[in-house]
Structure 1
């Protein structure tokens, strides 16, 4: 169920395993995806998919100074290429791998396990049966059970693709995080911090996006829009033409689903958003093949497994014990960062990017094996100031 990147990723792999797939979605999978999807270029190269990048930057930087002096204006150079997917190319590539499969444009209203099969009843009255059902309809799915751990923190962003009175970033530059707060009022500095994510698209077109880290409740789009305009104005930049506005809101610390349930999930519905970075597409591309291959093997078992058993097989692959432990570590770190004020966040990230590139890049992509992840987190702790160390251990509100 679904027609976004997660759904197309898993459907493509299931079809390539020779399985019979029925696809349901509330809209056609050809409907354009509205948001931008970023990824470190090396991560995509390792998958042999670098051709799907629509934009690529070598000049990648971040700003973690206060912006009030010369030192605060100096960027941190990442020396690591960053790219944006060409969303149409990614969508077309995945659709082509789905072969002649056609999507049933339907809205599911109930799902029932009927012994060997699972039935999906749709608003139209049509019912579909399958050996196993995968919900890839996004984090708002109402069919996936998960524990209630309290308010869910969300990352919010408001962005503009457009033309400006002067360049909001240097020519050919990608800015991962600009945390300089010199444009904020005293009142705004008391609120949860946000940063600029920006890039030069060439031909006088830029993308600028004001992004908050995870907050519960999240910062509003109106607040982020106000901050973005204040940031640009402080640097003498005006928006001359709006080509596209982008609104993002997604959970960062969504609890892992109940992995005993007879309904399988993938993507946002399966809590696959990286709690530390907010990225997911790289994980979708890496983890879909193993899940599809394992399901193909499980479906061939004699005597046949029922729906509940097949779903459990899928959950065990999707969230192996190691992946669960890594996810818990990331969520622990996110809770600590959510307690940091703007000054501590700037200090934390400045230290984070002093780690060896393969360490911070693997941390952000969630590709580090658990033992190495633990060592990287320990190294980060030792590199940090005592103020940050205490915040990591007890939360900033306790220090």
Structure 2
């Protein structure tokens, strides 16, 4: 069966990235179709966090399921000098929110439905691009033609070609939503990072570090997640589970009810930017848009989908324009030079943090969150200009203790290649 309608854009995928770009393209009055092996209303498996200011700026605060004002981190060891200033909480003074993923999905689907986006169930298996049109063939025998194909199929894209820059750093997590014999964190509190390690043996403290990410969900329910920031090879789920159990045991807390377990989120942190001369476009994780320093993605999708869609719509005003040229305009909007240079800096930073010992990480983050709020917040949300990012990183370096300075200065991985990408990003 062939679909030969006059389609402007065919989006592959049905996750947040696919719906974000499909709705943005539809809002530009383009004819949009979406192809996915999953139903468009399938339940997304993961939870998505975002800073409160981000949703406020976008006017979508009503899409949050939870919002916390009491947002903190702990970067002390937690041992011996319990009342030491280093063991005190770091207050972030920024709200943090958790999306109601069903509402977020419905938000994008409503825009798509109002613009008459059409949906296809199927698995894309083959792609042909010529001077005038692109054709995707599915394993079910359907052919769909469009002026532009957008691969939004996630971290292992179906058609996009991505450079091989070596091992990919992976953030791994093991989490529990449940009830406990006593509150594991304060009421109405959100903990971004708790690096206290007084529940570990001395030998375990020399192993790759992990931290607790936790939140009070209300009604006596808490979400606790042991997390590895990013490592290659990744920290195992068994290790994360054991460490979470030890945290609770150290506090004398037992689990009384488990509502849900997250058996590991394997989030690639330093995915390379795809080759930018391809005649198809990428978006979301497929296009390397995940923040290498934080793992955040949804805020970026929400902010950047409209501008990328506008660039595509502008290119399509010329009805004779080829798929390759249209895709090129999309890539230019998605990954302009300054953003590619910023990405190289972020990946440089992650490369450093991957090799830090726990004591170095605790000192690093203590210094990081002592930057001005506009600097650390802009760093984590990728909203600083290139100049502002360089200034924040330099200030962080000058304030850092010697153990962190040495860790940042020492070159023993892919740092030089990443610095070269910063100085001369790939075209």
TM-score by length of 1: 0.97
2:278 maps to 261
The answer on 1:22 being equivalent to 2:33 is: yes
2:223 maps to 207
Whole-angstrom distance in 2 between the partners of 1:51 and 1:93: 10
* Structure 1 consecutive aligned stretches of length 4 or more whose deviation exceeds 6 Å: none
Superposition pairs of residues 48-127 of structure 1, within 5 angstroms = 48-68=59-79, 69-70=81-82, 71=84, 72-99=86-113, 100-127=116-143
How far does residue 115 in structure 1 lie from its aligned partner after superposition?
2.4
Please state whether the residue corresponding to 1:46 is helix, strand or coil. Answer: helix
Whole-angstrom distance in 2 between the partners of 1:174 and 1:215: 24
Please state whether the residue corresponding to 1:200 is helix, strand or coil. Answer: strand
Please state whether the residue corresponding to 1:98 is helix, strand or coil. Answer: helix
Q: Deviations over 1:302-344 (max 9, x none)?
A: 5x21111111111111000010000000001111111100000
Q: Deviations over 1:73-122 (max 9, x none)?
A: 41111111111111111111110010243421100111121321111110
Whole-angstrom distance in 1 between the partners of 2:18 and 2:203: 43
Q: Deviations over 1:228-256 (max 9, x none)?
A: 11111111111111111122111111111
2:359 pairs, out of 327, 333, 343, with: 343
Q: Deviations over 1:231-285 (max 9, x none)?
A: 1111111111111112211111111100011121000000000000000000000
- Structure 1 unaligned residues grouped into runs of 5+: none
Moved more, 284-293 or 382-391: 382-391
1:252 maps to 269
Superposition pairs of residues 303-382 of structure 1, within 5 angstroms = 304-382=320-398
The answer on 1:47 being equivalent to 2:55 is: no
- Structure 2 unaligned residues grouped into runs of 5+: 1-11, 414-427
Please state whether the residue corresponding to 2:128 is helix, strand or coil. Answer: strand
2:6 maps to none
Report if aligned partners of 2:148, 2:327 keep a CA contact under 8 Å in 1: yes
Report if aligned partners of 1:390, 1:396 keep a CA contact under 8 Å in 2: no
Report if aligned partners of 2:18, 2:283 keep a CA contact under 8 Å in 1: yes
How many corresponding residue pairs?
396
How far does residue 395 in structure 1 lie from its aligned partner after superposition?
4.9
Whole-angstrom distance in 2 between the partners of 1:322 and 1:19: 28
Please state whether the residue corresponding to 2:129 is helix, strand or coil. Answer: strand
Whole-angstrom distance in 2 between the partners of 1:361 and 1:395: 27
How far does residue 396 in structure 1 lie from its aligned partner after superposition?
8.4
2:3 maps to none
Please state whether the residue corresponding to 2:231 is helix, strand or coil. Answer: coil
Please state whether the residue corresponding to 1:192 is helix, strand or coil. Answer: coil
1:12 maps to 23
The answer on 1:297 being equivalent to 2:314 is: yes
1:228 pairs, out of 227, 244, 247, with: 244
Report if aligned partners of 2:181, 2:255 keep a CA contact under 8 Å in 1: yes
Query: Alignment RMSD, CA only?
Result: 1.2
TM-score by length of 2: 0.91
Whole-angstrom distance in 2 between the partners of 1:338 and 1:60: 25
Report if aligned partners of 1:339, 1:396 keep a CA contact under 8 Å in 2: no
Report if aligned partners of 2:32, 2:118 keep a CA contact under 8 Å in 1: no
1:287 pairs, out of 304, 308, 312, with: 304
Whole-angstrom distance in 2 between the partners of 1:142 and 1:92: 25
